[in-house]
């Protein structure tokens, strides 16, 4: 495990050009290819899916992930890193594998995902540990003055075309690799849907691409606002205690 932590430190110290140099050239065209199979699982990623993960062992291997996704798996509300706590293990495994295999472009994540995939058991352990994390009560939401209107509009759009795959409450589907989107950071959701619509997310589900392609920027804002307003299914973290003190009357 020390080699993984060493890798993380080294990557943090590398200049941007050197870090990018670690990422291989795109070997697969993803959604642009007629042979692209969105949910095809084989090799080490398939092996990891069928292994029983050890959460205790996974806690150590997750340390390297916590640098970006935070120790509690909350991610960052500015949209740079998604919340992992509450996400399906199958989705986490698939996305890391897609990054390593050149199907999803993520230069920052690549060195860590590549190291993790060398050992399917360690990958399964990490995913198992993430499943033990409670879901943070706070996350990035749409905060515009028209939030109520945007959420209402997003709800209508979501229930018309998104719930069939992602579920009525945004709970996703672990067996089909559909992610939990309820309670994810608003800015992350908006960024990912925009990239899927614009053809920049090469490991996107072709069915989702067809649905989202006609959406305007305003519609994506509304759907993201609605999804972020929902609560992730699962064990929520304990509410923070109220601050003591205050002004005396």
Strand partners, 173: 178
pLDDT at position 117 is 78
The CATH number of the domain covering residues in 147-229: 1.10.760.10
Q: 243 pLDDT exceeds 70?
A: no
Q: Taking residues 20-43, report their average pLDDT.
A: 70
Q: Say if CB 129 and CB 53 are below 8 A apart.
A: yes
Q: Quick one: tokens of 8?
A: 């993380």
Q: Say if CB 226 and CB 148 are below 8 A apart.
A: no
pLDDT at position 26 is 55
Going by C-alpha positions, the residue among 99, 97, 65 that lies closest to residue 83 is 65
Strand partners, 178: 173
Domain extent listing, the chain: 2-14+38-132, 147-229
If pLDDT is split at 50, 70 and 90, which confidence band does 45 have? confident
Fold adopted by 2-14+38-132: Cytochrome Bc1 Complex; Chain D, domain 2 (1.10.760)
Lowest mean per-residue pLDDT among 11-25, 26-40, 66-80, 130-144: 11-25
**pTM score:** 0.86
Q: For residue 139, what is the DSSP state?
A: -
Angle at alpha carbon of residue 155, lines to 150 and 157, rounded to 5°: 95
Cα separation, 211 vs 204, in Å, equals 12
pLDDT at position 249 is 44
pLDDT at position 9 is 35
Rg (the chain; Cα; Å) = 19
Please report how many Cα atoms fall inside a 13 Å half-sphere around the Cα of residue 233, on the Cβ side: 13
Q: Quick one: tokens of 108?
A: 């920052």
pLDDT at position 22 is 57
Cα separation, 131 vs 196, in Å, equals 26
Q: Taking residues 198-213, report their average pLDDT.
A: 95
Whole-number average pLDDT of the chain: 86
pLDDT in tens, 98-107: 888 888 999 9
147-229: same fold as 2-14+38-132? yes
């Amino acid at each position: 495990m020390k080699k993984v932590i060493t890798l993380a430190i080294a990557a943090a110290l590398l200049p941007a050009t050197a870090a990018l140099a670690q990422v291989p050239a795109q070997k697969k065209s993803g959604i642009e290819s007629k042979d692209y199979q969105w949910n095809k699982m084989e090799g080490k990623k398939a092996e990891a899916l069928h292994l029983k993960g050890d959460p205790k062992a996974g806690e150590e291997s997750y340390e390297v992930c916590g640098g970006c996704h935070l120790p509690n798996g909350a991610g960052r509300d500015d949209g740079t890193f998604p919340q992992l706590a509450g996400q399906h293990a199958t989705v986490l495994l698939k996305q890391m594998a897609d990054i390593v295999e050149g199907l999803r472009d993520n230069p920052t994540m690549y060195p860590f995902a590549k190291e993790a995939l060398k050992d399917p058991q360690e990958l399964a352990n990490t995913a198992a540990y993430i499943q033990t994390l409670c879901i943070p009560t706070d996350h990035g939401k749409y905060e515009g003055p028209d939030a109520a209107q945007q959420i209402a509009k997003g709800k209508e759009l979501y229930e018309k075309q998104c719930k069939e795959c992602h579920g009525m409450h945004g709970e996703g589907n672990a067996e089909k690799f559909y992610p939990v989107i309820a309670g994810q950071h608003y800015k992350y959701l908006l960024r990912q849907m925009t990239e899927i619509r614009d053809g920049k997310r090469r490991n996107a589900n072709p069915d989702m691409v067809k649905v989202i392609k006609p959406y305007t920027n305003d519609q994506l804002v509304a759907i993201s606002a609605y999804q972020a307003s929902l609560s992730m299914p699962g064990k929520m973290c304990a509410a923070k205690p109220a601050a003591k003190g205050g002004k005396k009357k």
